[in-house]
Structure formats: C-alpha cells, structure tokens
C-alpha cells in the first residue's frame, strides 16, 4: 500500500532558536525534528511510508514579531526546498508564510509555490490572536486560492489570556497537555474552521481548500451540532455543515483508534480523509499499521493512504 504522510514536522537545525517555543525538550523530539535525512528515511521505510509532506512545527512563523516574519519564512522555505531537492522522490513541503504581514505573505506564497515547487502552505493557527476570518487576510487567501494549493491549518499554542483562564490552576504539565494535544489544540482548530465557515470566508473564496489534522479537530463529532446552532444566520446560503464539507479535508494524524475514523468517514466521506503520522510526535509505524488494519473497504483505504493526497496536492 502506497502511503503519503501529510503532517510531518521539522525545524531546520540552524533556525531552532527562532521556532522552538520553550527551553528544553522534555519529549525528546528535537533531534528528530532537525534531522531530515537518513534517520527519517529509515523511519519512513520501516513504516512503509513512500513520501512525507514536510512542514515547520508549531508555532511556526505565526507568533514571531512582524518585522522578522518575512525573513524567517523565506529562510524556512529555502531550507525545506533544499531537503526536497536532496530526496525529491521522498519529500515535498508546505510553505511557511509571514501572516503578520499579509502583503509579504502573498509574495512568499507565490515564490514558494511557483519557484521552489512547494505543494501547499501551512498556517499554524492564530496569528497573534487573529483567525483567518479577519478581513486583513482576505487578499492573502485570494492569492493562495489563485495558486490552487491547499492550506494546512495546524494547531498552535493558545494566547496567554486563554491559557490562563482555561488551563491555569493545574499542575503545570497537566495544564500544558490540556492546552495542546490533550484537548486545546483540537478545540481551537475546529473553532477556527467554524469561524471561517460561519463568517463567509468560503463564500468569498469559493475555490479555497483547507486541510486539518487529528481526525478533523473534533469537527466530525460536533459538526451537525454546530450546524444546528448556526443555521439561522445565513438562511439564503449553504449550511455551515455543507460549507465545511465542501472546503475542508482531514487527516488521521495522532488518531489510531477505530471509532473516530468511522465517525469521520460517516461525516466527511472517504474522499476527504488522508493519511498522516504527525512525525515525530506520532509513531509512523503505528499510524501505518492502524490504516492497514482498519475495518474499511480496500477502496477507501487506498483513497486515504495516497489517492486523495495526490489529487489535492497535485503530487
């Protein structure tokens, strides 16, 4: 079974101090994030993964100062392009953008896609507390739409005020986990998508396609509940649920149990689900084995494993 993994993270070694959010490496992932060569290829081979789509790990470029964002994005994209050139049959990459400066983001998106050959862009959650439904991002989204590439909308760390209210008062490691992979990342990214759908972003950008990971960031389970609550606000247009299912694709990254997959299949359908291992945070072999053994049809398995990714990212 051919496997294309779509949410596979890195940090160029010379740019760690500009990306890595906290001192230390309690999970021991930093060496794996900075290595994009033989060790990573061995992991892929052991798991049966044919290609990784590389993206800079959260918080990426979205939280740095505006005056540094464009230069950092350019440097990150140049490094990613070097990794792809070294192994073009095994890697492609998503472009980092300086969303703090939408005009600069347009320039960098065009360069990364048309000159460096990247297959999409990655935006790590909010930009200094602003979501993509903010008006200042409209021209940037139009440019991405014209480039005919998807946006991988990845979670990021919550703003300080949100972290304090929702995750404060807990033992530090428990609060940090709830703010991120245990709950907060998924809830916030699902909210981000719903904001875009409910505020008319996809009406203004009818060709825009978004990818979210982690089995849909809570959307498969909660989409129809959200649709029912929001249904009265746009009586003449498509429903929120229909809008999301027309513009959003999901990956299985981080989720390797059957019930969430079956829910996602029922809500989004097999044509909008793709494989990802969330490397190095997720175990590549565990994800590959899960998909290989999942109780789904061979046709759906092939779509999720590689066919949908090839079509959406034009690989």
239/58 Cα distance (integer angstroms): 31
Give yes or no for a contact between 244 and 197, defined as CB atoms under 8 angstroms apart: yes
What is the Rg, in whole angstroms, of the alpha carbon atoms belonging to the chain?
18
Catalytic residue, candidates 101, 278, 283, 300: 278
Question: Residue 70 — φ and ψ, nearest 5°?
Answer: -65, -45
Residue 208 per-residue DSSP state: -
Tokens linked to 225: 């509940």
- Kindly state the helix (H) or strand (E) to which residue 43 belongs, with its residue range: helix 38-47
Give yes or no for a contact between 294 and 258, defined as CB atoms under 8 angstroms apart: yes
Give yes or no for a contact between 125 and 156, defined as CB atoms under 8 angstroms apart: yes
Q: Identify the CA nearest to 44 among candidates 87, 1, 82, 3.
A: 3
Question: Residue 156 — φ and ψ, nearest 5°?
Answer: -140, 180
| 227 is known as an active-site residue | no
* Helices and strands in the chain: count of H runs, count of E runs: 17, 8
Give yes or no for a contact between 5 and 93, defined as CB atoms under 8 angstroms apart: no
b (16+ CB within 10 A) / e for 256-290: beeebbeebbebbebebbbbbbbbbbbbbeebbeb
Active site residues: 278
């Amino acid at each position: 079974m051919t496997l294309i993994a779509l949410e596979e993270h890195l940090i160029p070694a010379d740019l760690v101090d500009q990306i890595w959010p906290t001192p230390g490496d309690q999970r021991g992932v930093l060496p794996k994030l900075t290595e994009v060569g033989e060790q990573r290829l061995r992991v892929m081979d052991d798991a049966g993964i044919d290609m990784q789509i590389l993206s800079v790990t959260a918080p990426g470029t979205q939280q740095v100062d505006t005056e540094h964002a464009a230069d950092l994005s350019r440097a990150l994209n140049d490094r990613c392009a070097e990794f792809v050139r070294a192994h073009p049959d095994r890697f492609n990459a998503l472009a980092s953008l300086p969303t703090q400066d939408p005009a600069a983001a347009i320039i960098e998106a065009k360069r990364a896609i048309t000159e460096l050959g990247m297959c999409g862009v990655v935006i790590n959650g909010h930009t200094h507390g602003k979501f993509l439904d903010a008006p200042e991002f409209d021209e940037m989204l139009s440019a991405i739409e014209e480039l005919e590439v998807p946006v991988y909308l990845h979670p990021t760390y919550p703003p300080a005020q949100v972290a304090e209210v929702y995750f404060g008062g807990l033992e530090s490691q428990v609060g940090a986990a709830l703010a991120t992979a245990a709950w907060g990342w998924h809830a916030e990214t699902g909210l981000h998508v719903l904001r875009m759908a409910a505020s008319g972003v996809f009406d203004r950008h009818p060709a825009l396609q978004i990818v979210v990971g982690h089995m849909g960031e809570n959307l498969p389970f909660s989409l129809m509940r959200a649709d029912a609550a929001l249904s009265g606000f746009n009586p003449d247009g498509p429903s929120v649920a229909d809008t999301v299912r027309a513009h959003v694709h999901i990956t299985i990254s981080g989720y390797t149990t059957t019930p969430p997959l079956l829910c996602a299949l029922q809500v989004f359908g097999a044509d909008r689900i793709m494989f990802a291992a969330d490397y190095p945070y997720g175990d590549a072999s565990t994800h590959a084995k899960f998909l290989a053994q999942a109780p789904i049809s061979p046709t759906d398995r092939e779509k999720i494993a590689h066919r949908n990714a090839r079509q959406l990212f034009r690989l």
